[in-house]
A = this chain, B = another copy of it.
Amino acid sequence: VIGYGVDHDGHVLLAQGDQTIDLARVPAVGVDPQVWASGSLNAFFALGPQTWSAVYERLQDLDPPPEAIRTRPQNLRLPFAVADYVDFYASEEHATNMGHILRPGSEPLPKAWKHLPIGYHGRSGTVIVSGDPVPRPHGLRGPGDFGPTARLDLEVELGFVVGQGSPRGRPVTVDAAPDHIFGVVLLNDWSARDIQSFEYVPLGPFLGKSFATQISPWVVPLAALEPFRTPGPRQYPEPAGYLRQSQPGNYDIRLELALNGTTLSCAFARGLYWSAAQQIAHLTVNGASLRPGDLVATGTISGPGVGSLIELTNNGESPITLDDGTSRIWLEDGDEVVIRGWCGDGALDIGEVRGRIVP
């Protein structure tokens, strides 16, 4: 894996292949040591894209001093303080699957879907890191029907981490958006389908999602992903001017989903209809500001594999069988979900997000 992370003592680390470096102990990197002592990546984010590039390049060339080499920790802290968390709905395969499942016989895509990246704000205070337990949420599943969710699901996503903010009233263009993105994490958008389906009209998902959103601990810098940048699918109808991009906006990332050690599916982010740059241009076009630590997620990534149990089981109608011989429709207590990511044909490991359901 390659990426920046923060250990439980608050040290900022760089993982690079098998090596783990304590950045506070590499003076040659040329950044105020206070930045590495702050216990989160936000202070590094605030230095801006030129500094991120300069640091990243220097670290590629550098032979780190022996006192900077660390054993890679098993568990890491949430690597940055999340400012606002926005979740999009950018996979056409996923949105189409959900339309067929939830509104059979109707047009599967919402009417605005091909005109703008549909998204909503989630709860930033419940973004957790890989390894944190996920308690099964309680809630209302219908009138008077309160209890633990019986339809606990996962969603395979990528999260783009905003490094550089932007002022209110100044939209970020599609072409400038990559300068605002520090890097990428894997993201599991845990979902309670019964709570969600009772509550979501007309204001969208709320408690069905807000109990936990889990991310991988190493933020992979965009610079490392640059060789894997690739065009997304052709967009028709042609999007509005502020959404037109002149450069390839997708990344060739493969996401593998495993439940209790059984691989359930494999999906590809290169097929996402809306790119992260388009999502950022969209979310700021009304004048909304960005802040370092904003987290912008893709929504469930499906295609060709699917990134949620609701799709895998056709809304609970077709159980799946695990390697241990048990079957599942929804998640059970004790189940462990792991999402792993790689770029290209496995050339670059981008880590994993791992979570276990507890009662």
Asked if residues B120 and A211 are in contact (CB atoms below 8 Å), the reply is no
Most buried by B among A192, A202, A240, A283: A202
- Is A306 an interface position by the 8 A CB rule? no
A71 to chain B, nearest CB (A): 29
Asked if residues B146 and A288 are in contact (CB atoms below 8 Å), the reply is no
A98 to chain B, nearest CB (A): 9
Asked if residues A207 and B285 are in contact (CB atoms below 8 Å), the reply is yes
Chain A interface, DSSP helix/strand/loop, else mixed: loop
Count this chain's copies in the assembly. Answer: 2
Most buried by B among A137, A143, A203, A208: A203
Asked if residues B294 and A120 are in contact (CB atoms below 8 Å), the reply is no
Distance between Cα atoms of A220 and B19 in the complex (Å): 53
Distance between Cα atoms of A241 and B145 in the complex (Å): 10
Contact A168:B201 (CB < 8 A) given known A120-B206, A122-B121, A146-B240: no
- Is A115 an interface position by the 8 A CB rule? yes
Chain B residues with CB under 8 Å of A144's CB are 115, 237, 240
- Is A316 an interface position by the 8 A CB rule? no
Q: Which of A108-126 contact B (CB under 8 A)?
A: 110-112, 115-116, 118-126
Distance between Cα atoms of A283 and B126 in the complex (Å): 12
- Is A296 an interface position by the 8 A CB rule? no
Q: Which of A150-181 contact B (CB under 8 A)?
A: 168-169, 171
Cβ-defined partner of A211 (8 Å) among B110, B192, B206, B286: B286
Chain B residues with CB under 8 Å of A171's CB are 138
Distance between Cα atoms of A337 and B4 in the complex (Å): 46
Contact A288:B112 (CB < 8 A) given known A204-B203, A206-B119: no
Chain B residues with CB under 8 Å of A169's CB are 135
Asked if residues B168 and A126 are in contact (CB atoms below 8 Å), the reply is yes
Distance between Cα atoms of A112 and B141 in the complex (Å): 10
A-side interface residues, number (CB < 8 Å): 59
Chain B residues with CB under 8 Å of A201's CB are 110-112
Asked if residues B192 and A286 are in contact (CB atoms below 8 Å), the reply is yes
A152 to chain B, nearest CB (A): 11
- Is A31 an interface position by the 8 A CB rule? no
Asked if residues A140 and B111 are in contact (CB atoms below 8 Å), the reply is no
Asked if residues A285 and B138 are in contact (CB atoms below 8 Å), the reply is yes
Chain B residues with CB under 8 Å of A285's CB are 138-139, 207
Asked if residues A287 and B125 are in contact (CB atoms below 8 Å), the reply is no
Distance between Cα atoms of A169 and B212 in the complex (Å): 10
Cβ-defined partner of A146 (8 Å) among B111, B204, B241: B241
Distance between Cα atoms of A116 and B135 in the complex (Å): 22
Question: Can you pick out 8 interface pairs between chain A and chain B where the beta carbons lie within 8 Å of each other?
Answer: A115-B140, A115-B143, A123-B288, A126-B289, A143-B237, A144-B237, A192-B286, A195-B286
Sample of 6 more A-B contacts, CB < 8 Å, known A89-B203, A112-B201: A110-B201, A111-B201, A115-B143, A121-B210, A125-B289, A203-B205
